[in-house]
Structure formats: structure tokens, C-alpha cells
Structure 1
Amino acid sequence: MAPELMADASRDRLAALTSWHADWSGLRVAVLGLGVTGFAVADTLTELGAEVLVLAPAADEDRARILDVIGARLLTHPLDVVPEELASFEPEVLIASPGFHPDHPVLEWAAESGVPVWGDIELAWRVRDKVAAAEWILVTGTNGKTTTVQLAATFLAANGLRAAPCGNIGIPVLDAVRDPGGFDVLVVELSSYQLHHLPTAGPGAVHPLASVCLNLADDHLDWHGSPEAYAAAKAKVYANTRIACVYNRADEATRGMVEDAEVEDGARAIGFGLDTPGPSDFGVVEGILCDRAFLEERRTAALEITTLAELEPRGLAAPHVVQNILAASALVRAAGVPVGVIHDALGDFRLDAHRIQAVALAGGIRWIDDSKATNPHAAEASLRAFDRVVWIVGGLLKGVDADALVAAHVGRLRAAVVIGRDRTALVAAFRRHAPELPLFEVVADDTETVMPEAVALAASVAAEGDTVLLAPAAASMDQFADYADRGRRFHEAVRAMLGGEADDHDAAEDGTPGSPA
């Protein structure tokens, strides 16, 4: 067969692969990466009968062994150049794990060779009917994704639906799709990396019941190459939405995404925010979280979801957490969950570790771990929840400028302790915007000593009424395994320093101060 005819036949075959029960047998698929996502992709495809070649710079020993058992080939290679084995394999499609940059040599080779590139989300959508074709709810944003996904899944489950939080939250969507018990709804957290590869039209395009981009701020610019490319990836979340496009009224970028999105007929734009909601909105009125979208008389009335007074003792009253609650409520209301169910489910909900987590209260000083604040936008939300802050900040800035963040919050700072290898820009920003502010640098680069030194420095200047806040505004991999490791080491250092002085019970029960302004 002529090469052009072979290419046409391959495209036609890929277009027809829109079901688990389609004929995937013998399809040649290259899988780029062998992390959690790459392994789930390879496992799925071999189960479908495809011929699978996995490419990875390195391989976990257990995963490599299992690949051999299930019949997938593994090629460990630096991948700084395209391996000859990939070209000779002649893949009909390449499925890329989220961590590989768009300009990676293998992805550039695929583009030049005319090999289609999918992500794991497209594959999961195509085979979503293995057990039961669940509804999908999509969640993205620079910050708050995981909390919003967990909230939405909790609300859905409280209403008797089988709901799975999955995607970038840590559980591959393919694992949820293949779960033998099946689900009614998948609440899918999507990173900008995953959205980059997701088509908005054609057989691989997702058609979600509801979708949200919680917020948009510069992040991952080293991966996407520009703020515009990052925003364009995030905007894909709204494509083909069927019931509700949920957006942040305080973030014009998300409103513009909804206005520009190609959605299905009948899909509604639902705004959320900390201000008074209009019709078709969720918001806050005199301390009451309200739904003015999903009721017939929405022009003259609202439904009460909960109150800030109820949320505060549970550590859920910080402004950005309230926004997450409103967004999650909007998503599940689109799926028919009553507001009473949401209210009751919030009674048992707790934030994950390292998300504005109270560590200790001693001598009138509160110690808070928000290690999950891995970019300036997340750190800003955290800082706004407190009035007097000794700020532990720094790490890998990922190409993002933190100057504006420092300038915006010097008024609430008592001191700053800078950690991480990207310290120079942060120190310069503090010197520029707050030359009188007590400023400390942790120059130690040893993982074991960074947090004890940072905590000791913070304790040397913190006074009664202050909050010592770990909100790094940066990634952690320069000095720690991940943000959770950074947070755990902060906990250990605080407790080691305080000894028997820490009142953990009060810190946990009082929750996080602050409320929407």
C-alpha cells in the first residue's frame, strides 16, 4: 500500500476508536513516560490488545517487571534524541505523559512524522464505556483544583451517586474508567499539561456535564512557553460543556474563556464569587453562601447553602476555600444535588494536609502549613487570610516573577524568611518594596537543615498575634521530594522547636482565621 494510503487508513482507524468495545487489536502505540499516568496508559492498551512500546528515561523496577508480564515493550533511553527503535516501530499514535514539554525531541519527531499525539485524558474518554459511561465533571485552574474536586466528589457521594475524584489529583482517569464497580460521575482534575493535548473537536473531544476554570495566574510558563499558551490550554476545559460552564466572577480571564467557548446548546454560564450573586450566580450575602442559579425564582430569591459562621470552626472560612466551596456547589447543582445535601456534607469535610493546615498554637503565635501554595497566586490567597504574617517563602519559581506578590503584601508582613535555590529574585523584591522589613535567608542547601533553620529564624521574630505561614509561592523539588515532604518537615521542625508548648488541639479546632471581604 502506498504511504499516503496507509496514513489515511491509520487516521480512519483512529477515528473509529471511540469505545472500549472497538477493535484496538494490533494498534501500534508508543507511550512516552512510565510514571503513574504512563503505566496506566500502557496497562489499558495492552488489555485492549494493542501493540505497545513504552519509552522512558528511567523505569521503576516493579513497573518494568509488570510491563514485561502484560506484554508491553520497554525502552529505557535518555530521550535527548529520538531513538531508532521508535522510528522502526512506526507507531500509529503516540500517547504522551503530562510531564514532557511540547518541544521534547520525541514530540517534535511525532509532529514532523505526522504521528498523532494523544494524552491519557483523550484515551480515557474514548474507552469510558468499559463498565459504565459515567458523566464527567472537569476542574482546572491555577489553584484550588484538588480541593474543589474533593468537595464536588464528596457532595455527589452524599447524594447517593458513585463518584470518583480522579485525574491530576493522583488517580489516573483510566483507572477510574476501568474500575469494575463503575461510577456514575467522574470528577476530573485537569492540569494545563493534560489540557494541552486534549482536542476540542472530533472523536477524542470530551463532552462534560459541567466544567470550571477556577482562576488564572501565570504558572508553568517554563513548560508552556508563554502566558498566552498557558491560558489557551486552560480554556479548553469549557469546550463542549453540556449543562454548566462555571467561572470566577472576580477573574475576567475565566469569564472570557466561557464567552469564547464552543459549548453544546443549552449550556449555561454560572458565575461564583465572594460578592453578592446575581441571577445564575453563586455568592455570599451577609455571611450566607447562596445559590441563585438553580431555582425557578432566581431573580427574586436564593437558596442558602451554608454560612461562614458554620465554616469557620472547620477551617473552611478562608476566602479562597469559600470560593472552592461555591464552585464545587455550582458543579454538583448542575448534576442535581440538593443544597441541603451540600450543607450536610460540609459538616464532615476537611481540607487535605498542607493546605492552610494549622500545625500548632503556642504563645499566641499560630503556625500554618500551606506548602501546597506552589505558585504566587496560591500564596497570595493564603496571605490574604491572615493579618500579621511571618512569611516563609521560596523554592523553584518555575519562571514566574514574584515581585508583584511581595509588593502587594508587605503591609501585612512582620518578617520574611527566604528558602530555596531561587532566592536572589525574592530577596531583591523584598529589598525593593520593604527595605525596613526584617529579612532572613536560609543559605543551607541540605534538606535536613532547611526547615529547622527557617523555623528557628521565624520564631526569633514572631510575636503574640502573629501567624508564621509557610506559603512558598514556589515548587519544592530544589530541596525537597515534593510539597508534601516540605510540609511534613515544617511540621516536624515546629514541633521539635516548641516541644511541650504547642497546643495542637486548639490549633486544629480553631481552624483558619479570615473570611471573605
Structure 2
Amino acid sequence: MIDLSLFSGQRFAVFGLGISGLSTALVLEKAGADVTLWDDNEVSCQNAIDLGHHVKNLASEDFRQFDGLILSPGVPLTHPKPHWVVNKANVANLPIMGDVELFLQAVKQDRRAKIVAVTGTNGKSTTVSLIHHVLRQAGLDAHLGGNIGSTTVLDMPEIAQDRIYVVELSSYQIDLMPSLQKQGFAPDISVLINVSADHIDRHGSIENYAEVKSQIFVQQSADDLAIIGVDDEFGARFAKYYDAKSLSAVGRLADIYCENGQISAGGKILLDLSDAPNLQGVHNAQNAAITYMIAQYFKVDDAVIAKAMNDFSGLEHRMELVGKISTDFGDILFINDSKATNAGAVKPALGAYEQIYWVAGGRAKQGGLKPLLKPLQKIKKAYLYGQCAQDFAGQLIGVANFEVFSQMSESVNKALTDIMHNAEDGLKVILLSPAAASFDQFENFEMRGKQFKQLAKKLGAKPI
């Protein structure tokens, strides 16, 4: 647990009593801070009371008594409109922050540990997991937290000499980190993987969204490392603007680039990922290139990096190799990419294999399939299901062959039937990469991915 004793004696209001809100309250209370909690949800408030916290309706409180408002990342700051608690804090000129802000202040003022902060629209979880894995395999004291899994940043081990915190940051979390504007509070290593349309409802425009992402670079110094993917217009723009000791960009136009499964720089091949089964595809090559640069920063030997990458097991629901069916005309792979809930996340998956039978659908997000229309011309067929199936079908007319179904299970069954009846020789892939949210038929993307895996097993796919 992170020691927040620098906030001892201060008074905080905590709004939003999910995992991060309750964790923040507990750590602050242990550090000697006075904490008042509230949530619009009565059940959440009662749960906090049962856990022994001081719960009081913040609507009736004078915010001038507090030193800060700790806000859940899910509470709107600006769009579609500010939450009432945000308006009240602004009227009182009360600083609004999140748990990651408290973490940042504690680590940067202590000075013994380093922070690797990773953000981007897509690929964050795989990238931070790979960074963490490689650093741990190299014997470094690395720990993973933030917007991944159930470990909040404040639940990570206490600050220690040479400890490395690898933190995944969403745009919502960065919005709640005002110290990023202060000199001396930038992460030691800041990574922006990519920027594409997502969460526009929370930020108002893609320009605002991209600007929030870029805040991790604002106060970086000559001693810090900035890594920026330049394969999109915002990354290319930020790479030109921000200055750091080893400003490097990752992508085909960059200092380090990824091509044909190889990571290269200056005409020299640094790493060959052909033997890394869970790092196939252009997007994973980019993740590996980012990880390579960070490992180099910490002076990890190339041979150690390569071995660790080959051993990386990948993440569930992110280009996960579920299983295969072997036939006389080649293998059929089932790949679970359920986490790909927008077009930007799907695009690299479509470039990872030649013969793709694409399963997509759910609840549509803003932006549609426009970024995918070119790569979709190369797929064998699309199998569309769910709430947005007809919308997606309309966008695919003249682009790719498709069929529309009600349920995901019907889509997967038909994809396999088509392969068995019409397949060419070579590797075939049934790819679940939905380009949409899961909430029309599933509780979350994890449940969607689990059903796909169950379907694959039922259809005869064997573990790889």
C-alpha cells in the first residue's frame, strides 16, 4: 500500500464509492487524513458505512472545509455536462483529483521510485503487462497497477529505492491529475501509444480527448523519457512538439520501427518476434518496440528482453489464441479479441492474418467502421450480430461480403460452416473483434469473450 502520510491532517471529500473510491478513502484514513464519503447510489453509501467509513451527503456540506475532492474517474468533469459535485467544487475553488494524483504526489516527493505511465486509445493493457513482464524477468522491482485489473495505484507496494511502478492511465484518470501541470511531477517515462476516436461523449471532441492524453508529457525534463507512437496524426503532432531526453516515436515513420515482425532502428534489426507466439501482428510489434525502449532505459540486456518477450503469455480477450481445428486444408484458429470495442482497436487485428472470417457487433460506438473500410476489403467475410448489425451491414455494402445474425453464437457457427465448405488452403482465422460495446447482449466484454471461447471449444477447437 502506498504511504500517503504527506496528506496527514488534511480533509478530503471522496465522491464515487467504487473500487478506487473505497481504496482511496482507506489509504487516506490510514495516513491520518479526515475523509468524508458520498455517492449518488444509496447501496454504495450503505456499503461504505458497513465498512466503517464516515459517509455524509456532500450536497449539504460546505466545500471550503476540504483540502481536495477525490473524484471517481467515471464521474463527468465537463461532458456531457459537469456533475453537480464538480460544479460545487469549482464554485469553492476546491482542487479536484483522483487516486492517481495522490499516488503521483507521493512517489515524486519521495524520489526513490520511478513511474512508467502508459496511455493511448488502444493497446494499453497489453503494453503495460508486457513492460511489467520484461522488467520482472530482468530481475527489476517492477509493479503493475492503474486502469488494469483490480489493483488500484494506491494498492501497489509501498515506495522503495529503485522500485518501478508501471501504470496504465485512461483519459478519465489523466483528467484528474492536476499535478501533471507542475514542474517536477511528470512521470519518469511517459508513453502515448495511439489516439483514435473514443470516449468523445466524455471529452466533447477527439481534439480535447487527444489533448488530455498528451498531458503526461507537459512537464517532462531532460532526465525523462517520452515515447510517442506516430502512426496517427495526433501522435505525430505531439512527437514534434514535446521535448525529452530521448524523444522517440514508435511506428513506421519513427526512430524505432516495426515491420514484418521485426523491431529495427538505424537499419539494424533489434528484435525478431517470429518466435513470440503472443506478440504477432503489427500492433503487438509496436507494443514490443515500446517495451524494448523502456527496457533499454533500465539497461536490460537484449537477450533477456528477447527471451522475456518469447515467454509472454498475452492477455485474455486481447488477440487471445483460444484454440485451433486442424483440417486437411490447413488449421482454423479461433481468436478472442473481445476487448476491441472500437474501430481503432480492430484495425491492427485485421492486419494480423490473411484469411479472416470476422465476427463483429454489439452496441455501436461513435465513429462507426469508417477507419476499417480499407482493411475490411481483404477479409473473407463478415458475420454481424447484435444491436448494430444492420448499421454495420449498411457500411459494408460494396466493401466486403457479410451476413447478419441475431446472436454471436449464430455468427461463429456460420463462420465455421463457411470455412469447412468453401475454404482455400492455408491458415484460416475466425476472429471475434467486435468494434462495438458488449452491453446489448453481455454484461461486459469479458463475458462476451468467455462465451466465444466456450463456443470455440464446443465446435471442436483444441488448445494451442
Q: TM > 0.5 between the two?
A: yes
How far has the Cα of 1:24 moved from its partner?
Answer: 2.2
How far has the Cα of 1:338 moved from its partner?
Answer: 2.4
Tell me whether 1:371 sits opposite 2:328 in the alignment.
no
Is the 2:359–2:408 Cα contact (8 Å) retained in structure 1? Answer: no
CA gap of 1:96–1:290, structure 2 versus 1, over 3 A, is same
State the distance in 2 between where 1:125 and 1:131 align.
10
Give 2:257's aligned amino acid: G
Is the 2:261–2:281 Cα contact (8 Å) retained in structure 1? Answer: no
Aligned-partner SS, 2:440:
coil
For residue 39 of structure 2, what is the aligned residue in structure 1? 56
Is the 2:63–2:92 Cα contact (8 Å) retained in structure 1? Answer: no
For residue 246 of structure 1, what is the aligned residue in structure 2? 227
Aligned mate of 1:176, from 145, 156, 167: 156
State the distance in 1 between where 2:233 and 2:63 align.
48
Aligned mate of 2:413, from 438, 452, 456: 456
For residue 76 of structure 2, what is the aligned residue in structure 1? 101
For residue 348 of structure 1, what is the aligned residue in structure 2? 311
Using the TM superposition, name which of 184-193 and 156-165 deviates more. Answer: 156-165
Tell me whether 1:224 sits opposite 2:186 in the alignment.
no
Give 2:413's aligned amino acid: A
State the distance in 1 between where 2:402 and 2:7 align.
66
Map Cα deviations across residues 137-182 of structure 1 (whole Å, 9 max, x no partner). Answer: 1111111111111111122222221101111113211111547x78
Flag structure 2 segments of 5+ consecutive residues without an equivalent.
none
Tell me whether 1:271 sits opposite 2:249 in the alignment.
yes
For residue 150 of structure 1, what is the aligned residue in structure 2? 129
Using the TM superposition, name which of 374-383 and 127-136 deviates more. Answer: 127-136
Tell me whether 1:437 sits opposite 2:401 in the alignment.
yes
Is the 1:37–1:120 Cα contact (8 Å) retained in structure 2? Answer: yes
How far has the Cα of 1:190 moved from its partner?
Answer: 0.6
Is the 2:180–2:216 Cα contact (8 Å) retained in structure 1? Answer: no
How far has the Cα of 1:65 moved from its partner?
Answer: 5.3
Is the 1:393–1:471 Cα contact (8 Å) retained in structure 2? Answer: yes
For residue 19 of structure 2, what is the aligned residue in structure 1? 36
Give 2:275's aligned amino acid: E
Aligned mate of 1:321, from 253, 269, 284: 284
Aligned-partner SS, 1:143:
coil
Flag structure 1 segments of 5+ consecutive residues without an equivalent.
1-18, 78-82, 293-300, 443-449, 509-517
| Pairing 1:64-463 to 2, within 5 Å after superposition | 69=51, 72-75=53-56, 84-87=59-62, 90-102=65-77, 103-128=82-107, 133-170=112-149, 171-176=151-156, 178=158, 184-199=163-178, 206-241=185-220, 242-261=223-242, 267-274=245-252, 281-284=255-258, 288-291=262-265, 302=268, 304-311=269-276, 314-362=277-325, 363=327, 364-398=331-365, 400-431=366-397, 433-434=398-399, 437-442=401-406, 450-462=407-419, 463=422
State the distance in 1 between where 2:347 and 2:355 align.
14
For residue 466 of structure 1, what is the aligned residue in structure 2? 428
Give 2:234's aligned amino acid: A
How far has the Cα of 1:284 moved from its partner?
Answer: 4.4
How far has the Cα of 1:74 moved from its partner?
Answer: 2.7
Is the 1:238–1:257 Cα contact (8 Å) retained in structure 2? Answer: no
CA gap of 1:438–1:477, structure 2 versus 1, over 3 A, is closer
For residue 445 of structure 1, what is the aligned residue in structure 2? none
State the distance in 2 between where 1:50 and 1:340 align.
47
How far has the Cα of 1:90 moved from its partner?
Answer: 4.2
How far has the Cα of 1:22 moved from its partner?
Answer: 3.0
Aligned-partner SS, 1:268:
coil
Aligned-partner SS, 2:107:
coil
How far has the Cα of 1:495 moved from its partner?
Answer: 1.8
State the distance in 2 between where 1:482 and 1:346 align.
29
State the distance in 1 between where 2:86 and 2:102 align.
17
Is the 1:33–1:56 Cα contact (8 Å) retained in structure 2? Answer: yes
Is the 1:33–1:96 Cα contact (8 Å) retained in structure 2? Answer: yes
How far has the Cα of 1:183 moved from its partner?
Answer: 6.5
Instruction: Tell me the C-alpha RMSD between the 2 structures.
Output: 2.8
State the distance in 1 between where 2:387 and 2:87 align.
31
Give the number of aligned pairs.
Answer: 446
Is the 2:258–2:286 Cα contact (8 Å) retained in structure 1? Answer: no
How far has the Cα of 1:491 moved from its partner?
Answer: 0.8
State the distance in 2 between where 1:271 and 1:487 align.
32
Aligned mate of 2:28, from 27, 33, 45: 45
For residue 445 of structure 2, what is the aligned residue in structure 1? 483
Is the 1:200–1:240 Cα contact (8 Å) retained in structure 2? Answer: no
How far has the Cα of 1:274 moved from its partner?
Answer: 4.6
CA gap of 1:370–1:88, structure 2 versus 1, over 3 A, is closer
Percent identity over the alignment is 28
How far has the Cα of 1:254 moved from its partner?
Answer: 1.4
TM-score scaled by length of structure 1: 0.79
How far has the Cα of 1:369 moved from its partner?
Answer: 0.8
How far has the Cα of 1:54 moved from its partner?
Answer: 1.7
State the distance in 2 between where 1:205 and 1:53 align.
30
Is the 2:350–2:376 Cα contact (8 Å) retained in structure 1? Answer: no
State the distance in 1 between where 2:449 and 2:347 align.
18
CA gap of 1:135–1:372, structure 2 versus 1, over 3 A, is same
